[in-house]
Each structure stands twice: as structure tokens, then as C-alpha cells.
Amino acid sequence: MSQKLSIINPGKIVTVEGLEDSSLKPKLMEMGLIAGKQLKVLFRAPFGDPIAIDLGGFVLSLRLDEAKLIRVV
Amino acid sequence: MKIALLGNPNTGKSSVFNSLTGLRQHVGNFPGVTVDKKIGEFSVNDTKYKLTDFPGTYSIYPRSKDEEVVYKVLSTPSNENYPDLAIIVVDASNIERNLLLFTQIYDLKIPSILVLNMSDIASRKGIKVDLDAIKATFPNVEIVETNARIGLGIQRLKETIHAFKVQNNPFKPFIEGNKLLEISDLEGQSCEAEKRFSLIKKLLEKVMVTSDLSTDSRSNKIDRFLVHPIFGYLFFTIILFFLFQFIYVFASFPMDWIDKGFGAFSFWVGNQLPNGLFSDLISQGIVPGIGGVLVFVPQIALLFFFLSILEESGYLSRVVFILDRIMRPIGLNGKSVVPLLSSVACAIPGVMAARTISNWKERLITILVAPLMSCSARIPVYTLLIALVIPSKTIFGFINLQGFVLFCLYFLGLISALVVAAVMHLILKAKDSSFLLLEMPSYKLPRLRNISLNVLEKVKIFIFEAGKVILAISILLWVLATFGPGDRMDVSVEKLKKEQVFLSLEKEDQQQLIASEKLANSYIGILGKTIEPVIAPLGYDWKIGISLITSFAAREVFVGSLATIYSVHDDGEEQTSLINRMRKERRDDGSLVYSLASGVSLMIFYVYAMQCMATLAVVKRETKSWKWPIIQMVFMGVLAYVGALIAYNILL
């Protein structure tokens, strides 16, 4: 039962299931967001957007619009 | 031998570059692309190597303007920048993602050295890599472990470069049958990345051991504070406040020295050379022109010093993080904060910094509004006018009124930049999608060497980019100010010399009066009188008109021109004699020329008017067309006129 990364709360650890088709897909993958990748949601900016995620090696900040493209379990 | 330095962003690539080349680096140009290339040299046992630093990128496929150059060069062996050897800097604590670019370059059959940088962080996290196993997977590749920030491993890297021989071992591609360069569609590139990462994962399972998967918890704790809804913004505001105090206070000393130094030098040169037009050109056109450029170096250097600390420490990516949501509705990107902040020193490096913004529209809007952030050149103008018409007193008991007005002018520039951006956002149509996707590096202590080299680079950009335009225009203006039509100049000077008032003056004062009379009858003087009807509604007369025109060389020339027009000695920072003289100036109807109304009107004019030809030249280069700098000049000119008009009429 996959959800969009954009609604995952800070502190939760999830695994990427897949990416929605979009012009950002290759860029997201190049940053390491591929199926099977484990990540932790760290915190959100004031206003809730962008969010910061821990990809085990580096921290990535992404907008909710971008997080919506990532399906996680 | 040509060596290319490649790698992901935030891998310490610049530390490697700086460690290898030190001061032997400069900025050049990649042909056909608006990206500067950083070139450096180093030698090992008398053999010279040329090192080119490429922009950090996650894969060879470009996702922003500055990344395009990597693809362009690496895909074309005939390109003049195509390397004989590639050094790929990899963050040893983040190998998985970094290997994407590395394996791509490897599959392009470019001879490579893999540099595992940040080895200290890796070992702290308990990451152990079996280097021999990696070498077995990538024959012909040499691996060097480094900690470039403290220079560890650099000597070994140099030796490895020197000893590097392209082996004749059979090439084992990482991905079989790979046609990297032929994949141009996004779907294909996604598949490519997916395939690569699955192979990389399999490889790392065999060769790497890690005990701690998460990132630096120390950084996370600091982040709790710095991205806090209240404290985050407060902290940023405090930083900005310090920034301005810092530059304003500390820069004034060296600026004063440079100013006086050049004044003296110009005087000396004038005396050394035989009397005549050519010597005047040098002592009054060229030398002051150069001095006018160099006087800003301390201010610009200090500002970039500060900005570099913010960037090197990792804090700047947090600023982008907390500002992005606010910037987006007005057509900007969180990343726009860097160009906008840089423009407070000088808009030229600021405009160039917009290259990291991938979305064309966001980048364009950033470039168009950046010059509205009050730059260093406006400060002498603001200071003079404030001292002239704003009383020196305190309001609310402790706020210095003059300082407050200065702050308001900066604030006006900032707010206007945001409003204009919002308007542009509505008018211009966006083509491609905008994104943030920014890596936030762990906080680290900035290294002085990296900061100094960065500041040096920015200062050089200012001196050469701004300098050459300012110098050219200074010379042009000198010509226009020295010559007049027919014998009009000579006739009026002769007339002046016969006047009683003149004859009663000291020789030095007589000289200044002559200079002033000449200026009034030169081409510029006539130009000033011609535009007088247009600028009269703003409260200006033809003398101010002359200074507005000369400001096109550089804004601060305004002050020097006024000094000449009122035949007053350029008094350095304080300008007391000029201010006293200006206070006495009256119009035909008896009213003061420099009243509160006209003074504020002038200040507002300078907040908005696009008078810096050097910036326009850079905007043209960055946007690859004359259309945008012209639009910029027009809208800023309109804002200046209307703003000054409103101010003058309200305060009158």
C-alpha cells in the first residue's frame, strides 16, 4: 500500500517503491531515489514546504511537488 | 596533459582543486556556453599539468545551464577541453550515489583516477571499502584516498597522476553494450540510471561495509534551530544585519586609502607628464577611472568573504531551504537568494551566480531584478545625499535618523526587487518545470584557504568585467567633458577671467572656477542643459543633469562630477566642503536646489535607475541577447523617473 512521500511525517523511515512519470524522473533517480532505497524524513521547512530527507549518506531538500512524485512504503 | 576534475556537488572537489593548484588558477571561458571554467596548473617533477574544474554534477546528463558544459565536453572527443585524464572526486561517505557519475565516465572510456575524498567522515561512520575489489571491477582506474580539506593524500594524488599510464588491459564496461551518449530522451535516461544503480548496489554489497547508515546527527541538531519557523528567520535576519554592519564599517578604511591614494597619484601623474591633452586624458580620465573601480574592492571582497563563509559552512543551503516557499509565488527560486545577496556587493558576480538555477524563467527573473538590490556603488551617492538633506538626529530616542534612511533605501531596493519579480512572473510564460532538489551538506568549519581563493575569484571578476566597461566609459566621458562645440568653451572662460569676482580669488580657486566653467560649456554640459526640462519635474537642474549622465560610467562618479561642477576639492569620504557648497546652491527663484524633496527624489532615483553599463553587458552575455538588458534598462528607468517624481511632489 504505497503512499506519496509528501504526506510522510518527520521521523518516519520509508522505502521508495517507485517514481511517477514526469520530467523530473531522471533527475530524481540520479540523486539516488530509486526503488528499494531506504530514507528517513527529517524535518519540514516553516510552511511545511520544502522537506528534508536523509538518504543515508546525504540530506536532500525537496519541494512537496517533487515529493509527490515519489511513491513509498 | 589536460586533466578534468569532475564529481558530484559537495564532494570537496574545490578543496582538491585548490590543494593541487593553489594560487595558480584563473577563470577562463568555455566556448559557446555561458559558463566560466576554472583552470589551474600544477607540476610534478618539472612536468606541468593543466587542470580544468568542471561544475559539480550528479550525472553526465545536464539538468541546468552550468551542467551542460560537462556533457558537451565529455561527449565530444574533438572538443578542445576533452581531457586526457579525468579525476573523479567521490565522497567516500556517500559512495553509492557518487558512483553513478563515476561509472558513466568510466563507460565513456576516459582514463580516470578515482579520488575517495572525505575519508575522515567515512571512517568516522565506520565505512570500510575493499579498494582491491573495486579496482578489479574497474581495471585501469587508480584509486587515491584523500582528505582534501587538510591536504591529506594530495601528494599521493600528484604522484599517481604523474605515474599514470593508460593500460592496455581489455576494457570491461560497467554496463554492457552501453550507448550513453545516444540516450537523449528522459525515459531512456531514467532507465540508464536505474540499471546503473542496481549494478552499483550489487557491487557495493560485495565491497563495502557500513555500520552507521544515517547522516551526521550533529548537523541535524543544529538544523532544528536554524530551520525553526521563528528562530530560523530571526537568525538569518541577524546574519544580514551583521553583514551590513561589517561591510559598512570595515570597508571604509581601505576605501579611504585607495581613494586618497589615487587622488594623489592622479595629481602626481598630471605633474610628471608634459602639459597637454594626452596627459590630461591619463591623469583625469584613465587614472581616476581605474581608481574608481579599485576603490570598491575592499567592500566587495568583504562581502564575498562573508558570503563564502555562509556557503562553505553549509548554512546557505538552509537559507535556500527556508526561503524557497516564499520565493516561489513571485517567480523566483530559493536558490535566487545567492545572486540577490551577491548583488549587494556588485550585481555582476550576482547575475553570474544565477547560473545554478535550472529553470529559465526563474533564472531570467533573478537576473532582471538583481540590480535593484542596492550595490556598493550606490553607497557614496546615498551617503552624500543623506548628509546633505537628512538632519543628524535620533528618532524614538535611540535610532539614528540618517542610518535609518540608509536602511530604508536598501529595504526599498529589496522590496522593489520582489515586487518586480512578482510582476514578471505574471507576464512571462514558463516553459520547463521548476525544481529545488538541493543537497544540504553537513555543517563544517569553513577553511580559510578555500574562502580566500573564492573571494579572489569574485574580486577578479569585478575588476575585469566591471573595470573594462567603466574605464571605457570614463574615457568617453572625459572626452565629452573636455571638449565643447566650436570655441564656446574658450569664449566663456575668457569672459570669466575678466570678472571682478574671479580676479579676487586665490590661484587655486581660480583654477577650479575655470574647470567648472569649462565643464558647463562642454558637450556634457550642453547635454545636461538639454535634459533639464525632462528632469525639472523631479526637482533637478542641469548641473545635477550632468552628474546623472556621468553616472552611466559608474554610479559613484556622481559625487566626483558634482565636486567638479561646484568647483570644490574632492574631500575624501566626508565631503564636507562639497556638502557645504551644495547647501548654498539656489535656483533662480531663490529656493534651495538641494532640499529635502529634491534630495530624497535623487536618492530614490539612484535606488532604481540602471546606470551601470558593466552590469548590462554581463546581463547581455548571460541571457545571450540584447533584448533583456534593454528591457531591464527601460523598466528600471521608468521606476526611477516615476519614483523620483512621486517623492519630489509628496515632499515639496
Q: Measured between beta carbons, which residues in chain B are less than 8 angstroms from residue A32?
A: 96-97, 100, 197
Q: Are B216 and B442 in contact (CB under 8 A)?
A: yes
Per residue in B215-264, pLDDT (tens digit) is: 667 778 888 888 888 888 999 988 888 877 776 677 667 777 777 787 78
- Within 10 angstroms of residue A71's Cβ, the number of other Cβ atoms is 16
Between these two residues, B493 and B575, which has the higher pLDDT value?
Answer: B493
SS3 state of residue B586? strand
In angstroms, the CA B454 to CA B458 distance is 6
How many percent of chain B have pLDDT more than 70? 95
In angstroms, the CA B528 to CA B535 distance is 10
Q: Do B437 and A55 touch (CB under 8 A)?
A: no
Q: Shortest CB distance from A61 goes to which of B224, B433, B438?
A: B438
Q: Are B50 and B85 in contact (CB under 8 A)?
A: no
Q: Do B438 and A63 touch (CB under 8 A)?
A: no
A68/B contact by beta carbon, under 8 A: no
Residue B454 clears pLDDT 60, i.e. is over it: yes
Q: Measured between beta carbons, which residues in chain A are less than 8 angstroms from residue B433?
A: 22-24
Residue B603 clears pLDDT 90, i.e. is over it: yes
CB neighbour list of residue B407: distance below 8 Å, 6 or more residues apart: none
Closest-CA residue of chain B to A11: B220
SS3 of chain B: helix, strand, coil, percent, to 5 = 65, 10, 25
pLDDT value for B571: 52
pLDDT value for B214: 62
A41/B contact by beta carbon, under 8 A: no
Confidence of residue B569 (pLDDT cuts 50, 70, 90): low
What is the mean pLDDT of the segment spanning B445-472?
A: 86
- pTM summary value: 0.83
Q: Do B437 and A66 touch (CB under 8 A)?
A: yes
Q: Do B439 and A59 touch (CB under 8 A)?
A: yes
Residue B51 clears pLDDT 90, i.e. is over it: yes
Burial category of B617 from C-beta neighbours within 10 Å (exposed 0-12, middle 13-18, buried 19 and up): middle
Between these two residues, B411 and B180, which has the higher pLDDT value?
Answer: B411
pLDDT value for B369: 95
Strands A70-72 and A3-4: antiparallel
State in Å, rounded, how far the first CA of chain A is from the last one: 7
Sheet-wide strand order for B47-53: B25-29, B36-44, B47-53, B2-7, B85-91, B112-117, B142-145
Amino acid at A14: V
Per residue in A47-63, pLDDT (tens digit) is: 888 999 998 878 999 99
pLDDT value for B254: 75
Q: Measured between beta carbons, which residues in chain A are less than 8 angstroms from residue B186?
A: 23, 25-26
CA distance B114 to chain A (A): 18
Confidence of residue B607 (pLDDT cuts 50, 70, 90): very high
pLDDT value for B32: 61
Q: Mean pLDDT of all residues in chain B?
A: 85
CA distance B340 to chain A (A): 20
pLDDT value for B117: 93
Q: Do B320 and A54 touch (CB under 8 A)?
A: no
Listed range (A20-24, B184-188, B306-310) with the worst mean pLDDT: B184-188
Q: Are B526 and B485 in contact (CB under 8 A)?
A: yes
Strands (E), A5-73: 13-19, 38-44, 51-54, 59-62, 70-72
B95/A contact by beta carbon, under 8 A: yes
pLDDT value for B248: 67
Q: Shortest CB distance from B94 goes to which of A45, A58, A62?
A: A58
- Within 10 angstroms of residue B11's Cβ, the number of other Cβ atoms is 26
Q: Are B385 and B604 in contact (CB under 8 A)?
A: no
A58/B contact by beta carbon, under 8 A: yes
pLDDT value for B267: 78
In angstroms, the CA B262 to CA B485 distance is 31
Which residues 302-321 on chain B approach chain A with CB closer than 8 angstroms?
317, 320-321
B432/A contact by beta carbon, under 8 A: yes
- Name, of A15-19, B181-185, B201-205, the range with top average pLDDT: A15-19
Listed range (B211-220, B484-493, B580-589) with the worst mean pLDDT: B211-220
Q: Are B29 and B111 in contact (CB under 8 A)?
A: no
Residue B572 clears pLDDT 60, i.e. is over it: no
Per residue in B364-375, pLDDT (tens digit) is: 999 999 999 988
Of the residues B8, B61, B191, B197, the best mutation for testing chain A's interface (the one with the most A CB atoms within 10 Å of its CB) is B197
Residue B55 clears pLDDT 80, i.e. is over it: yes
Q: Is B7 left (phi over 0), alpha (psi -120 to 50) or beta?
A: left
Closest-CA residue of chain A to B317: A61
Sheet-wide strand order for A70-72: A3-4, A70-72, A13-19, A38-44, A51-54, A59-62, B438-440
Closest-CA residue of chain A to B229: A46
CA-closest candidate to residue B249, choices B299, B292, B305 = B299
Q: Measured between beta carbons, which residues in chain A are less than 8 angstroms from residue B62?
A: none
- Name, of B17-21, B202-206, B449-453, B639-643, the range with top average pLDDT: B639-643
Residue B444 clears pLDDT 80, i.e. is over it: yes
Closest-CA residue of chain A to B212: A56
Q: Do B58 and A31 touch (CB under 8 A)?
A: yes
How many percent of chain B have pLDDT more than 90? 24
